Each structure stands twice: as structure tokens, then as C-alpha cells.
Structure 1
Amino acid sequence: MRVRRSRGSGELAGRDGVAREVAGRLLASLPRRDQRAKGERYVEGLLRVQGRKTMRAIAAVAGGGAAEQSVHHFISKSSWDWSPVRRDLGRFVEQALVPKAWVVHPLAIPKLGRHSVGVQESYVASLGRMANSQQAYGVWCVGDAASAPVDWHLLLPPGWVADGERRRRAEIPDGLAEVDADRAVLDAVRRTVDGWVSRPRPVVVDARQIEDLVGLVDGMREAGLPFVVRIRESAPLAPADAPSAGGERRGPGAWRIAQGARPAALPVRWAERAPEGEPQPLAARVPVVLRDPGRRALRTPLAMVAAWADSQATAGELWLTNLFAASPGEVLELGRLLRRVENDMEEIGGRVGLKDFEGRCYGGWHRHVTLCSIAYAIAALGQHRGVADELLSA
């Protein structure tokens, strides 16, 4: 039995049975046999449906005479818990990929109406403009051969948690408070890495849209996690040797520190191979501390890596890390895993329906993206190498 990439939009040759067997293992936590069977058929439908993954289309190709209403109930109205499924998915993918890092990455889902849970008009960084959309953060396991998402956190703006009628219609659980980008990223890191994986790997995050950089860094540091975080030019940094005043280190901020380090920048030596088609950048590493404008306490020492293309007068990338033994090239290579996730999400995410949930409720969205993540993992592993069937036969 071998996992293969299909020429069509379906990712696996169905006669191999790999998709259903992998899905069966990852859905073993579901309490009822009929739920497990419906989950397997839903994953199979995600892998086989041409175009948009509507519930009607999935019901038509999933087999077993599944009706659209039955599929809708299984996703939107059922009581099965997605958390154990994601835990088992995370462990499966970690074993398959031997990850280099865990990447936390946003997903924007454009919507036409106002009734899908969490939807609002807001700035979408990937589009560079305001858009009516749901926004979420996913956690990707990234290895040499492939990447796959294993967990999701949907943003819940204040208007959704404060309005009792909207909460009721969207079936938002009692006690669930507002979820903004800062909280979503930190919760994603803590839940996935603290409880689901066998050993820590670097966490890579683009934090340029995160307001509470101090809280994010402190949360990862307190969890004992290595991290590589892309920061904006205004990030409140000070050189590690800057004099302190009244218990607070004062300094010029990330951009000015980078400009001061420009004369010491050297060509990057990549730890593995140079990115294809990319000119060799210059990079400098600077010991820094992260200042907290709201408190007087000194921050934990960190390192900032600034990178310039040959023609750039100012740094094109700024990265903050606690990987003190890593070279600038190693830090930049980890940072480039963000691009890897973006490319993989563009190639695979659309074909397994990550943005296609047509329901409106909170639980339905989470169940849909959980099963999409199983389909995504099967597609990604099968596309690059026969990992899934090797694990199944072990």
C-alpha cells in the first residue's frame, strides 16, 4: 500500500484506502461508531470533491448513502469534541514529519454576510486591506518534507461575545470570552506545545500584527519554549548593554538598533541550502532586551537578527529570538518556514476546504476545520512521500 498524489483535485487514489484508515485512527476518540464512520466519509469527501467543499457535495461523494442533512447534523449539531481529535492529529503528524518547528499562522476567510460566527469588517494583513471575514490562527507542524495544521483558534470580536442573541444563534459556549489575535496566538502555542508534543521545537510566529509582544514573549519564555518571532520596526527593544534608569532599560527601539548594527552586517551563511532565487542577504545579530512600557522591571535578555537585501538601506526583516546559540542564518531559515506554510496552505488548503464551511455556528466551524486538517495531513504526506502508510504498517 502506497500513498500517491492524484492528477486531479482529489489527493489520494481511493483504492489504496489510506485516507479512510488514517482518518479512522485519528477519529478513534469519537464515542460512537456512527460518528467515526461519518467522520471518515467526511474526510474522504474533502479529498475527493471537485471545487468548493459544500455539505451537499461531500454528501454526494462520501459514500454510504449519506444525505446532506446527516452531514450537516454531524458537523453543526453533533456533540463530538474536536480537542482529542486534534491532539491525536498533532501526535500523528509530529511522528510523521519530525518537525523543525511549530509555526503559528493566520487564516482569513472572506465572507459575504454578517451571520457566520466571528465575522466582522477588519484589516486582513494577507490582503493588505479591510475585509469582511472570519479570522483564525492555526498551528502548523513543519518538517523537511511537508507541513500540516494541527490546531485552530477562531477570533471572537467583542460584538460576538457581548451580544446575547448573536451568541445564542452562533452557539458560542457559555463562559467563552473575547478572543483577539494576541490571545489566540498565545493559547495556540500553550495548548499545542504544552500538551500534545513529545519535545519542544522552536515556535515561529509573525508578530507584526500582535499588540502585546511582551505578553507573547513572556508566555513562551515561561513555558520554556524556544522561539523565533518576526517583529515590527517599532518593537520596544533596547540594546542589552543600554544603561537603565529607575529599573527600566531605555533604548531607541528595534528600527534604530538595526540601523546602528548595519555596518557590522555580514553575508548570511545558510545552515542548509540557500533559498532558491533569493539573493544572499546581509544580517547582523544584536543582544537586546524587550522593554515593557507598562512596568518598571527589566526584561529577559534576547537576541535580534536584522537582515538586509544588498540594495536595501534599511533592514527588511527583524526577528526576535531566545536561540542564543543559533547563527543569523539558522534564525532566518526558521523564519522562512512562515513562507513554507503560506505556500503549502495556498496549494493544499483550498483543495481540502479550509475556507469552505458554509454553516454559522462555533462548534460547526471547529469540527469542519478539524476534519479539514486531517485531510490536509493525508494530502501533504502523500504528496511528498509515503509516510502515512509506513506509519500504518508499523
Structure 2
Amino acid sequence: MVDTKSKWEDELGRWLKPFLDRLGHKARRRMCPLYISGLIGPGDRKSVQPMAARLAPGEYDQLHHFIADGLWDAAPLEAELLVQADRLVGGKDAVLVIDDTAMPKKGDRSVGVAPQYASSLGKTANCQTLVSLTLARGEVPVMVALRLFVPESWTSNPVRLKRAGVPVEYRAARTKPEIALAEIDRVMAAGMRFGCVLADAGYGLSAPFRQGLTTRGLAWAVGIPRHQKVYPVEVKLIWPVAGRGRPRKRHIPDVLSTAAEDMLANAKWQNVSWRNGTKGRLEARFAAVRVRTADGPPQRIKDMGQQHLPGDEAWLIGEHRTSGEKKYYLANMPAKTNLRTLAATIKARWICEQAHQQLKEELGLDHFEGRSWQGLHRHALMTMIAYAFLQHRRLAQAGRKKKNQRSTTSAEPTGRTPSHRRSHRSTTTSAMPALQKTNRRKAAA
């Protein structure tokens, strides 16, 4: 019998060994590579039935049982994913990007489905929302966590939660920032290395989220709404003078907080370029000033009612895009950080959007047709493992390309002086190939 397995499938089997060692039972060790091969391989639909039909006719029940009903713990595989992700792109120059991705869904039985804002559609729609954590270095992202956000329409209905198999520990209402912090704790406990946490304004507007990152000793740069209140960095707390009555017992700031956009109104704006895009260098106008965040304890200030006192010192950064759009950010990076570094760090967040798109379009993240919590999260885990494998191949290809370039250069005649000095290039920027796709075989007729 002729072996029809392709080279990438053999490589996948070897790469998956640490994961399979954690699965235990031989049936699971057989179904896991089969499922991941189905996600990577050909076919428009990446749900269980069409994958089984393409790869293992007659084994639909076993494949469905593995992903939806099998009695195995996903935690060891999640832990191994963190190990492999750290090995691929972890380090002090890596970033951990917090975001969420929506998956449109019909009906009301699928776990967590509810009318929510879907960024992929640009409107509110019936969908499931997964909070995501992406570890990235340069232009190579690896998704390391996808956890379902459970809306209030679900957390207030115990019968609905039980029917969908939501574990007891996930049935209490949690905000997306709270879910993100819990997942950050998990990846930190596993020893995954990164230098800075990035998030958009959906997370950055949450003072508890920013404070939680600071409490954990993490550097962060997050988006904020334009009306986010901040204080000048030189703000001082003073004793208010009581016109009458008893002396005041609490300090108040000597100036009032102001909106982020107003704080930057008279700042010095500069053109900053941060990386190469498909149409040349990407650039925008940026400005940055040191401020104190207005997220301290609430305090009645004069006749302004309850106001938040000054919090920690941070950078307030503004961005004016060529489209006319304006964005604002806070970052707790050191005071000596230059504007270009601030801009480049903030803009590194885009990589998670690419990862979301590839997970959906290439690997079928949003193709799962089951309704249970367990099935959805196992499917999401398999797509993340498949994605990590593809990034492993991508980095390996980039390494071979760089090695070949060095070999070619060293083969030049020794008497010839190079016409230009070679610049050092990171394997994760311009030298990095696109996401390595497998040599996909056409499905058998």
C-alpha cells in the first residue's frame, strides 16, 4: 500500500509528540493529530463531519467524541501550548496582546451566544465572543489563550448554563478584563516570557485592568477613549480651605482632571514611522506627555461632586492618522522612553488581528457546530495548536533562508569589497515569510 502522507503531516506528528504524551489514552493520541490535520488540510469547512469525511471516513463518531464528549482534561495541552509558544516567540522583547474576537452564530442554544458587538461585522449581532491572548515577537504571533465571555443573559440563567456544560467556576459573571487578567495569571504561572502587555480601548478604559497589570509588575500600553480623564504630572494634593464649618479631612488635587484629547491639544506632534507595510513605511503623527491617571480613590472635590484622585504616573500618547482618525493611549513605560519606541510598542497590537483572521480563514476557528462549553474550547485549543505548528514551520523556513543567505555571502571572492554594508535584520521582520501554508492535497473524490 502506498503511503499518501505528506511531508508536513509527518512533521506534524513529530512536533505534536509533547502534546500527545500528555493525552494518555491511545485513542486520543490518534484522534488529536487527525483533528489538527483536518484543520490544516484542504476543505472549506473545518467542522467535525466534513473533516471526518475527508480524512477518516467511518470514524466520525470517534472524532466527534474526542472533541465534544471525551473524558480528558484540556489543561495539560494548554500548558504544553504555552511551553511551545514561549519556545517559538517568547522573550523580553515579546509582547502579550489582549483582545477578543466574535463569531457570528444563529439560534440561542450555543454556549455564550447573545446579541453582542462583533468587530468583524462592525455592528451588534448574535455571536459568541472569545477573549484572546496572543504572544508575539516581531511579526510572528502565536495564540495562547481563547476563553469564552459569558454574557449576563447566560450568567443569570443557571438552567441554561448547566445545559451547555459551563463549569461551575466559570458561571459567575465576569467582565472581559477580568477574564483577561485570569488568563494572564495562568500564562505567567507557566513561566511564559514577554516584556509588555498591549490592549485596545475596550480593556484600557478599565482602571481595575490597568491597576491589575501594574500590581503584577507588568509593563503595559493600552488604548483609551478620548474623554479618559488624566491629571498633569505635576499635580499636587493640598488641604482644601473650608469657608465655614469643620476643617476638611481629605486632600484634594490642586488642579482638576481633564480629558486626554484636551491634555494633548497643545502638545508637540511629530511624524513617526514604526515599521514597513505592504505599501511602504507606516507612519502617523504622534505626541506624548507624562501624566497622572485619574483612577485613584473617588473623592468629592469642591462643587464637582465625586472625582477620582490622581493615580500612578504614565505616558499619555496621541495618534493622528492620515485618515483623520485620532486615537489615544496610556502606557506605564519608563519616563525616558522616546516617542518612536512608544509608537512602535502601541502599534505592535495589530498582529493579534492578523492572528484572529488566520485562525478563522485558514483553520476554521469559527466553524465549530457544537453547543457545549467543552466542545467549543477544545476546538479552539486545537486551532491554536495547529496555528503554533504553522508558525513553527514559518520560523524554520526563515531560519533556513537566513542561513542560505549567510552561506552565499561567505562564498564571495575574498578580494572583493562589498559595495554596501549589510544591515542586521531580524528574522521576524522583512526576512520573515508569510504564514507557512502546508502543501495541501486535494481531497479524494
Residue by residue over 1:283-327, the C-alpha shift from the partner in whole angstroms, topping out at 9 and shown as x without a partner, is 222111221275345411111121224685xx7221211112432
Q: In 2, distance between residues paired with 1:237 and 1:81?
A: 45
Tell me the CA shift for residue 171 of structure 1: 0.5
Q: Which has the higher contact order (CA 8 A, sep 6+)?
A: 1
Tell me the CA shift for residue 33 of structure 1: 2.5
Q: State the SS of the aligned residue for 1:109.
A: strand
Q: In 1, distance between residues paired with 2:399 and 2:51?
A: 23
Q: Which residue of 1 aligns with 2:291?
A: 288
Q: Which residue of 2 aligns with 1:317?
A: 327
Aligned pairs for 1:1-394 within 5 A: 13-14=6-7, 17-63=10-56, 67-98=59-90, 100-176=94-170, 177-192=172-187, 194-206=188-200, 208-210=201-203, 213-244=206-237, 246-247=250-251, 249=253, 250-261=256-267, 264-268=268-272, 270=274, 276-277=279-280, 280-292=283-295, 295-296=298-299, 298-309=310-321, 312=324, 316-324=326-334, 325-383=336-394, 385-386=396-397
Tell me the CA shift for residue 175 of structure 1: 3.6
| Amino acid across the alignment from 2:292 | V
Q: In 2, distance between residues paired with 1:98 and 1:87?
A: 14
Q: Relative to structure 1, is the Cα distance of residues 230 and 276 closer, same or farther in structure 2, using a 3 angstrom cutoff?
A: farther
| Amino acid across the alignment from 2:284 | P
TM-score normalised by structure 1 residue count: 0.85
Q: Relative to structure 1, is the Cα distance of residues 183 and 375 closer, same or farther in structure 2, using a 3 angstrom cutoff?
A: same
Tell me the CA shift for residue 358 of structure 1: 0.7
Q: Relative to structure 1, is the Cα distance of residues 375 and 238 closer, same or farther in structure 2, using a 3 angstrom cutoff?
A: same
Q: Which runs of 4+ in 1 moved over 6 A?
A: none
Q: In 2, distance between residues paired with 1:353 and 1:144?
A: 25
Q: State the SS of the aligned residue for 2:68.
A: helix
Contact persistence 1:279–1:309 (CA under 8 A)? no
Q: Which moved more, 1:73-82 or 1:109-118?
A: 73-82
Residue by residue over 1:54-84, the C-alpha shift from the partner in whole angstroms, topping out at 9 and shown as x without a partner, is 1112222344x66222222111112322222
Contact persistence 1:101–1:201 (CA under 8 A)? yes
The number of aligned residues is: 370
Residue by residue over 1:34-62, the C-alpha shift from the partner in whole angstroms, topping out at 9 and shown as x without a partner, is 22221121111111141111111222234
Q: Relative to structure 1, is the Cα distance of residues 274 and 125 closer, same or farther in structure 2, using a 3 angstrom cutoff?
A: closer
Q: Name which one, 1 or 2, has greater alpha-carbon Rg.
A: 2
Q: Which moved more, 1:320-329 or 1:106-115?
A: 320-329
Residue by residue over 1:254-288, the C-alpha shift from the partner in whole angstroms, topping out at 9 and shown as x without a partner, is 12112232xx1223264x65785456322222111
Q: State the SS of the aligned residue for 1:355.
A: helix
Contact persistence 1:145–1:384 (CA under 8 A)? no
Tell me the CA shift for residue 186 of structure 1: 2.1
Q: State the SS of the aligned residue for 2:44.
A: coil
| Amino acid across the alignment from 1:355 | D
| Amino acid across the alignment from 1:255 | E
Q: In 1, distance between residues paired with 2:58 and 2:198?
A: 41
Q: Relative to structure 1, is the Cα distance of residues 230 and 164 closer, same or farther in structure 2, using a 3 angstrom cutoff?
A: same
Tell me the CA shift for residue 344 of structure 1: 3.5
Q: In 1, distance between residues paired with 2:98 and 2:58?
A: 35
Q: In 1, distance between residues paired with 2:290 and 2:27?
A: 57
Q: Relative to structure 1, is the Cα distance of residues 319 and 66 closer, same or farther in structure 2, using a 3 angstrom cutoff?
A: farther
Contact persistence 1:304–1:320 (CA under 8 A)? yes
Q: Relative to structure 1, is the Cα distance of residues 235 and 67 closer, same or farther in structure 2, using a 3 angstrom cutoff?
A: same
RMSD: 2.7
Contact persistence 1:120–1:132 (CA under 8 A)? yes
Contact persistence 1:381–1:388 (CA under 8 A)? no
| Amino acid across the alignment from 2:316 | M
Tell me the CA shift for residue 86 of structure 1: 1.6
Q: State the SS of the aligned residue for 1:45.
A: helix
| Amino acid across the alignment from 2:127 | S
Q: In 1, distance between residues paired with 2:120 and 2:297?
A: 30
